[in-house]
Amino acid sequence: MSDERVKAEALQILGLFQVLPRLVVFDLDYTLWPFYCECRSKRDSPSLFRHARGIMYALKEKGIDMAIASRSPTPDIAKVFLDKLEFQSMFVAQEIFSSWTHKTEHFQKIQRKTGIPYKSMLFFDDENRNIEAVSKMGVTSVLVENGVNLDMFKLGLSNFATNCAASSRKDDE
């Protein structure tokens, strides 16, 4: 499926939901692309999972901000790859650093930079420990097994809408 077709389908999926996240945060390794940066060289040409680019273009068109939260020990390589893919300008925050905090520190920095509350964020990652830790912060988090794709995107938006509805019911009580 071409990037344009994925974008069109992602826009249709976005249209199904009345409540959308203000910020979508992606991990890099095995979420946007099918490798670990530390196993690559800056000279390599990076590739993406096949739906990743179209999903990001749809989010950009809808005016939904995006950020990166990656625990890569080689942030220099990750940033070169984002440049090569022409993605640097797509992200309002890029927190790419090695950490033992399961991304809570990444999200604290993203929240400080953007001012967006955790409950208004949607996060995609391939590691369950990160999903569990970030979910406890109030972020709707989705575990991806073979990278971000349209099915996981729809699941994430559905979970986000459900969490928002539950949160607003609590506020009403």
**Residue 51: DSSP 8-state:** T
CA distance 50 to 79: 20
How far apart are alpha carbons 29 and 9 in whole angstroms?
24
Residue 133, C-beta contacts closer than 8 angstroms, at least 6 positions apart: 101, 102, 103, 104
Report DSSP state, residue 33: B
Catalytic, out of 29, 65, 125, 126? 29
Specify whether 29 is catalytic: yes
- Structure tokens, 173: 């009580």
132/21 Cα distance (integer angstroms): 19
Single out the catalytic residue among 27, 65, 125, 126. 27
* Per-residue tokens: 118: 């955790």
27 flagged as catalytic: yes
Between CA 62 and CA 64 the distance in angstroms is 6
Catalytic annotation, residues: 27, 29
